[in-house]
Amino acid sequence: MSMRTPLKSVRHLGSAREGAGHFVLQRMTGVANAVLAVFLVWLVAKLAGADYAAARALLRNPFVSLGLLLLILSGVMHMRLGMQVIIEDYIHGEGAKLAVLALNTFFAILIGVASVFAILKLSFGA
């Protein structure tokens, strides 16, 4: 066991330049999500009982597309940061942690890109 503090091994390697970035981005996307959740509830209420033609007509509205894009992008950023904290709290093996953190990022990107693709396809004429 090394008697050196962890600080010793990172000193002079340069700062990660992140600071409170994780904390702040989690709050910023949280504020956005709280507003966009109201939009989501409104959208789901409008879609209640709608058939395909009605649903597509609503999803092609540019304002609805915009709201959905913002919701998805803010949502996946927020959930990736949140899950990252959970993983770091509960998974202690260095290799397993790195692997699951990578999966977390891949999942957020997959959800984000798949949703954005679907929204744009509907918007531009599916």
Q: How far apart are CA 80 and CA 106, in angstroms?
A: 9
Q: Are 112 and 73 in contact (CB under 8 A)?
A: yes
Give the binding range for other proteins (CB under 8 A) out of 3-11, 14-22, 92-100, 118-126.
118-126
Q: Does 41 bind other proteins (CB under 8 A)?
A: yes
- Name which of 30, 34, 116, 32 is nearest 81 in CA terms: 30
Q: Does 73 bind other proteins (CB under 8 A)?
A: no
Distances (CA, A) of 102 to 23, 80, 110: 19, 10, 12
CB closer to other proteins out of 13 and 48: 48
Residue numbers at the binding site for other proteins (CB under 8 A):
27, 30-31, 33-34, 37, 40-41, 45, 48-49, 52-53, 55-56, 59, 68, 72, 75-76, 79, 82-83, 86, 111, 114-115, 117-119, 121-122, 126
